[in-house]
Structure 1
């Protein structure tokens, strides 16, 4: 494999002149530049990008830590990130982790070893204490509410938006409400469950622990839960659901089983995905595509920034 010295020898110029031509330096004589380009063509020389990045102290790579790509919530977020990056000189490196902590730490170690310039966490399992250990390694951006010096974030106030949705259901005459969440120890699930418990306490209602449904992420999870609730005959009058996929599974299965929505059970989803529009699901709108773009903007800034994302309830036909 040819190197820069081979090119210089064939072109009859110095290594420094070859370097100037490669970097489009304006002060190189035309005949020497032509000789260098001809030598590059003959030798098949290609620059070592890693060496260039090492010299410049910049890789032009942004790492994206994301648990799944086959879920609309995360795919919309990833699409927003990809679009924003496409308008820059940067490229993205995707770490699909399935919430595997070791894979998340692998991404952090790549930041530490300067193989990427910055790292965006779309969701995580690794603790904030571990992330803080890498704070000086490069720019870190989190899609959650944190107050850590040097770490930027954009976030959704899951507590407030769930509380607002619960109030809306209460005003619609629902006093037994169930919630569906994904990972009980996940940051957003913790906030949502707290809002649920605080709401029941504020209304002096009796909370039934069995009305908290966990492990809900995909459409089929919603379908299975609907079948379970139908068979048991023990169902809240309304369900506030972790995302529109699960809500769609609930809605379509309830309909197949002969239950009417919202007459027999009301449903509120989360995300405002295309499926919610098609099924006329009442949901909470979260602009994931725009959030993805915002996360990239933060990753490219040298200063630390924090943004709260405004959400709203989209009222359709399931409440």
Structure 2
């Protein structure tokens, strides 16, 4: 049988209430007492009963994270950051996979697991505002991640995708690149997440005094490596030879690089390539990938903190739209034109 709060209190020479205050990180404990209690906890191997703690508050101690594709390294890395952050708040994370399908995104927001979870963090692809308004049967915290903006009463966390895309294109124009392709546009673009990055591509080209050559926009059916390679090959096949590529994400950028190399095009000398997401895989290719790096740690921290704040009543009533930062990470896939 494990040690109890009473055992810790007896060894530390303090009250059970004081031990509880230390375990729950309450501020009104002197540093000396806090250290004495922590030594007793370590000596006895005491572990708080988190389940009981949550149940006393009418909660399960579980937050759900629903993402469109667990096989995408970006979402895997984001999930890891959310799990680590939630653990610091004594929460467990339940992962859900929507495959980017509207019906599954609607299902997870309708509260079919309200008896299991305390709150939901969702990265939607196809979800509409109408799905969010009037279809949720419970009032549990919901935090939305990603590019799309919703006129809905929920917290939303996303980097400025237009500005981030402009940063990527500005980097390429600063290298003297003039025919910059965009890979990753989807059909019905206005309803898809890629439209903000495509908009940033257009805005920055116009700001640089360059034409927005729509023949350099490659539509795809998905966002994976094969989609990037197929889009790159399609551009080359129709004679729309770019001198640079800005891809919707790193996976597509890596696919584009593979297609270029297989066709004898030198990267970055003839064609520079920029991705988006800063997944770990992009750092270890034969040509390491220049990319826009969203602050995934900040996204995870803010998402979990918003859920916890709403559960504990420390958050204001009005929903917030929060923009974490991003950086451009320059690697070997971009360089001045040297044909």
Q: Indicate the TM-score class for this superposition, using the shorter chain for normalisation.
A: 0.7 to 0.9
Unmatched tracts of structure 2, length 5 or more:
1-15, 17-50, 335-339
**Larger CA deviation: 211-220 vs 171-180:** 211-220
Q: Which residue of 1 aligns with 2:145?
A: 143
Q: Which residue of 1 aligns with 2:213?
A: 208
Aligned: 1:175 with 2:197:
no
For 1:262-273, list aligned pairs within 5 A: 262-273=268-279
Match of 1:234 among 229, 240, 254: 240
Q: Which residue of 2 aligns with 1:256?
A: 262
Contact 2:81–2:300, Cα closer than 8 Å, also in 1: yes
Output the CA distance in 1 between the equivalents of 2:113 and 2:261. 52
Output the CA distance in 2 between the equivalents of 1:220 and 1:181. 12
Structure 1 stretches of 4+ with a deviation exceeding 4 A read: 111-115, 145-150
Q: SS at the partner of 2:133?
A: helix
Deviation at 1:177, TM superposition (A): 1.1
**1:177-229 deviations in Å (ceiling 9; x for gaps):** 11112543455412112222223333443322221122251112222233333
Q: Which residue of 1 aligns with 2:69?
A: 68
Q: Which residue of 1 aligns with 2:223?
A: 217
Output the CA distance in 2 between the equivalents of 1:237 and 1:186. 29
For 1:76-91, list aligned pairs within 5 A: 76-91=77-92
Question: Does the C-alpha gap of structure 1 residues 190 and 228 become closer, same or farther in structure 2, counting only changes over 3 Å?
Answer: closer
Greater C-alpha Rg: 1
Contact 1:261–1:267, Cα closer than 8 Å, also in 2: yes
Q: Which residue of 2 aligns with 1:11?
A: none
Output the CA distance in 2 between the equivalents of 1:193 and 1:315. 20
Question: Does the C-alpha gap of structure 1 residues 177 and 168 become closer, same or farther in structure 2, counting only changes over 3 Å?
Answer: same
Q: Which residue of 2 aligns with 1:161?
A: 164
Output the CA distance in 2 between the equivalents of 1:182 and 1:202. 21
Q: Which residue of 2 aligns with 1:301?
A: 309
Output the CA distance in 2 between the equivalents of 1:115 and 1:225. 42
Output the CA distance in 2 between the equivalents of 1:135 and 1:209. 44
Output the CA distance in 2 between the equivalents of 1:276 and 1:99. 23
Match of 2:195 among 163, 173, 190: 190
Match of 1:284 among 292, 314, 325: 292
Q: SS at the partner of 1:301?
A: helix
For 1:13-52, list aligned pairs within 5 A: none
Deviation at 1:241, TM superposition (A): 0.7
Q: TM-score, normalised by structure 1?
A: 0.75
Deviation at 1:240, TM superposition (A): 0.5
Contact 1:135–1:151, Cα closer than 8 Å, also in 2: no
Deviation at 1:278, TM superposition (A): 1.4
Q: SS at the partner of 2:121?
A: strand
Deviation at 1:163, TM superposition (A): 1.0
Q: Which residue of 2 aligns with 1:19?
A: none
Deviation at 1:141, TM superposition (A): 0.6
Deviation at 1:121, TM superposition (A): 1.1
Q: CA RMSD for the aligned pairs?
A: 2.7
Unmatched tracts of structure 1, length 5 or more:
1-25, 27-48
Q: How many residues are matched?
A: 269
Q: TM-score, normalised by structure 2?
A: 0.71
Contact 2:111–2:138, Cα closer than 8 Å, also in 1: no
Output the CA distance in 2 between the equivalents of 1:251 and 1:111. 42
Contact 1:76–1:289, Cα closer than 8 Å, also in 2: no
Output the CA distance in 1 between the equivalents of 2:177 and 2:143. 39
